[in-house]
Amino acid sequence: MNFNYTPEQEKLASHLIKLEKNALDKFYQGDVSGYLDLWSKDNFTYFDVNCAERIDDWQQIADFMNKNVAGKMHADSYDFHNPRVQFGKDMAVLTYQLHADTSMIEMHYNVIEVFQKTEDGWHVIHSTWDLIQPFSPNVKRPKTNVAV
């Protein structure tokens, strides 16, 4: 990582990335507990391409994960690509791209994890897993080209 972090930010970025990778390691063995422990039980929202609406609390995501993912999601490996952590006061945003060929689907996601520091450590208060693609087929294309 080289994002002009201070030494303290470098250490924290490494810690948050490790938390995320530990959750992913479990996730790809069919164990959703890594994410259920990482995600805030008090203040949590979640967007996923497979959910029609935002999930608004930890219990709702726990029910979704236990019903739809636990014991079913397996992958021998995954690509945790280009992680970056951005910092605010007692908050941090981890973004990365995730690629994995799993037992359920071939995953290519842009992932956003918003961490908040609490009395018992760092927890994710918002998580978004969205497909890597320029435009959804249901979104109207812009009338003019937008250069990046």
Single-letter amino acid code for the residue at 57: D
pLDDT at 49: 84
pLDDT tens profile 75-96: 999 999 999 999 999 999 999 9
> Domain total for the chain?
1
Whole-structure pTM value: 0.87
| Domain membership flag for residue 141 | no
- pLDDT at res. 52: 87
CA dist., res. 31 & res. 27, Å (int): 5
Give me the amino acid identity at 26: K
Return the sign of the alpha-carbon dihedral for residues 87, 88, 90, 93.
negative
* pLDDT-flagged residues of the chain (< 50): none
Q: Which of 122, 120, 139, 119 lies closest to 130, judged by CA?
A: 139
- Residue-level pLDDT at 75: 95
Residue 144 included in any domain: no
pLDDT for position 147: 53
Distance CA 10, CA 27 (A): 26
Say what the pLDDT of residue 143 is.
Answer: 55
Q: How far apart are CA 112 and CA 46, in angstroms?
A: 10
In a domain, 17, yes or no: yes
What pLDDT, on the 0 to 100 scale, is given for residue 35? 97
Domain assignment of residue 29, given as a range: 7-131
> Residue 114 maps to which CATH number?
3.10.450.50
**Is residue 31 in some structural domain?**
yes
- pLDDT at site 56: 96
The pLDDT of residue 105 is 83
Contact, 135 vs 141, CB < 8 A?
Answer: yes
